């Protein structure tokens, strides 16, 4: 099976993390966010990926052609204008054949949930990833109305009072080629974008089978605090701690778990950790203290400065 990865977003709410990189390439403990998003699909046998990217994102193409350890085929198509998820999918359509998966680059579900999506087989024309949320969160996603596990209605970002339920559709899907035929007929939403949920509703209106599979959880990375939360979760799950032993001297204190990439400057007498990720190209000053934080390339913690629970970019 092929998969389309929607990776053209600017990541405005992730600023300053995305000041000099795309949202897709935000690092999560040494690996791009987009790679962590697609890995559950790879673990389920998906190996042919079409990435929809922004025109200036050369970093993502370089990473997946030169650096990734995943055994995948990667193709890249450019979304010149950000006109919505259905618009992005339409750009990828010429490269697709048969059933295919779709995933956003900033939404993470586990391997078991992707396996459950794929297990629905070839019958439905759409398989949606669903999550039950608190009422105040419904308007952030596409809300659905269910009859058993059949989706009867889907509404993109409805006002809370108009939402058909507190179950929302996450940006992870399995589609038949029929959905692609509907994309040219879609009208722009009030936000001026062409939305995948509108195409799904067209399938429902045409009497096609659309089903949903509930996820136990998903991790959304839309803000620096989301990035901190995801990083801490991964540390708590026992990610291998790495630091060059030669650096653990000159009065420096290293508290695990911690991940320090190469070419990080650690000043004398500094204290780093626990739950700290230092990306290559950052600078920790003399006597500085960094706890439960992320310092990205180009980021600097000054001499004697203390930071906790922060992202420094």
Give mean pLDDT, residues 1-11: 93
> What string of DSSP letters covers 246-282?
GGS-TT-EE-SSEEE-SS-EE-TT-EE-SSEEE-TT-
Mean pLDDT for 216-221 is: 92
Res. 245 pLDDT band, cuts 50 70 90: very low
Residue 240 has pLDDT above 70, yes or no: no
Identify the CATH assignment for 2-223 out of 3.60.21.10, 3.20.20.100, 3.10.105.10, 3.90.550.10. Answer: 3.90.550.10
pLDDT of 191 over the 90 cut: no
Q: Is the peptide bond before 236 cis (omega within 30 degrees of 0)?
A: no
pLDDT tops 50 at residue 62: yes
- Is a pLDDT exceeding 70 seen at residue 189? yes
pLDDT at site 242: 57
What's the whole-model pTM score? 0.93
Average pLDDT on 14-34 reads 94
Q: Tell me if 174 sits within 8 A of 126, measured CB to CB.
A: yes
How many alpha carbons fall within 13 Å on the CB side of residue 158? 21
| CA gap 184, 168 in Å, rounded | 25
- CA atoms of 25 and 35, how far apart (whole Å): 8
Only one residue has tokens 């026992």, namely 238
Does the pLDDT at position 246 exceed 50? no
Assess whether the previous peptide bond of 274 is cis (omega < 30° from 0).
yes
User: Which residue has better confidence, 237 or 21?
Assistant: 21
In this prediction, residues 222-227 reach a mean pLDDT of 96
Residue 100's pLDDT is what?
98
For the chain, the helix, strand and coil percentages under 3-state DSSP, each to the nearest 5: 30, 30, 40
- Is residue 250 predicted with pLDDT exceeding 90? no
Percent of the chain with pLDDT over 70: 96
The CA distance from 90 to 2, in Å, is 15
Are 241 and 257 contacting, i.e. CB atoms less than 8 angstroms apart? yes
* pLDDT tier, 107 (very low <50, low <70, confident <90, very high otherwise): very high
pLDDT of 216: 92
The CB-side HSE value for 86 (13 A sphere, CA atoms) comes to: 23
Give the C-alpha separation, 130 to 172, whole Å. Answer: 9
pLDDT band, very low/low/confident/very high, at 10 (cuts 50, 70, 90): confident
pLDDT above 90: residue 101: yes
Q: pLDDT digits over 284-301, tens only?
A: 999 999 999 999 999 999
The alpha carbon dihedral of 210, 212, 213, 215 has a sign of: positive
Query: Which DSSP symbol is given to 52?
Result: E
The pLDDT value recorded for residue 238 is 75
Strands laid side by side in the 258-260 sheet: 258-260, 276-278, 294-295, 311-312
Confidence at residue 241, expressed as pLDDT on a 0 to 100 scale: 53
Whether the per-residue pLDDT at 264 is higher than 50: the answer is yes
Segments of 159-287 assigned E as strands: 167-175, 210-214, 219-220, 253-254, 258-260, 265-266, 271-272, 276-278, 283-284
208 φ, ψ to 5°? -80, 155
The alpha carbon of residue 242 and the mean position of all alpha carbons in its chain are separated, in whole angstroms, by: 24
Are 120 and 132 in contact by the 8 Å Cβ rule? The answer is: no
Mean model confidence pLDDT for the chain: 93
pLDDT for residue 263 is more than 70: yes
């Amino acid at each position: 099976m092929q998969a389309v990865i929607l990776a053209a977003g600017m990541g405005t709410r992730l600023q300053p993390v995305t000041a000099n990189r795309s949202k897709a390439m935000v690092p999560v403990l040494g690996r791009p966010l987009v790679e962590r998003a697609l890995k559950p699909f790879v673990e389920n046998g998906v190996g042919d990926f079409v990435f929809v990217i922004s025109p200036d994102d050369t970093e993502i193409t370089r990473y997946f052609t030169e650096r990734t350890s995943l055994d995948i085929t990667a193709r890249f198509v450019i979304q010149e204008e950000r006109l919505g998820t259905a618009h992005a999918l339409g750009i990828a359509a010429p490269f697709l054949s048969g059933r295919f998966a779709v995933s956003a680059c900033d939404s993470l579900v586990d391997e078991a949930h992707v396996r459950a999506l794929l297990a629905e087989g070839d019958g439905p024309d759409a398989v949606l990833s669903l999550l039950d949320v608190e009422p105040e969160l419904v308007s952030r996603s596409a809300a659905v109305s269910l009859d058993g596990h059949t989706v009867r209605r889907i509404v993109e970002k409805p006002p809370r009072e108009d939402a058909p339920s507190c179950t929302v559709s996450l940006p992870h899907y399995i589609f038949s080629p029929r959905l692609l035929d509907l994309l040219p007929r879609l009208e722009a939403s009030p936000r001026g974008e062409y939305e995948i949920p509108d195409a799904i509703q067209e399938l429902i209106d045409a009497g096609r089978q659309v089903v949903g599979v509930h996820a136990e959880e998903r991790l959304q990375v839309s803000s620096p605090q989301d990035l901190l939360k995801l990083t801490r979760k991964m540390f708590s799950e026992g990610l291998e701690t790495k630091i060059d032993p030669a650096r653990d001297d000159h009065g420096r204190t290293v508290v695990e778990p911690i991940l320090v990439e190469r070419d990080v400057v650690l000043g004398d007498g500094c204290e780093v950790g626990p739950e700290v990720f230092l990306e290559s190209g950052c600078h920790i000053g003399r006597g500085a203290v960094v706890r439960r934080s992320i310092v990205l390339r180009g980021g600097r913690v000054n001499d004697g400065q203390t930071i906790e629970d922060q992202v420094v970019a």
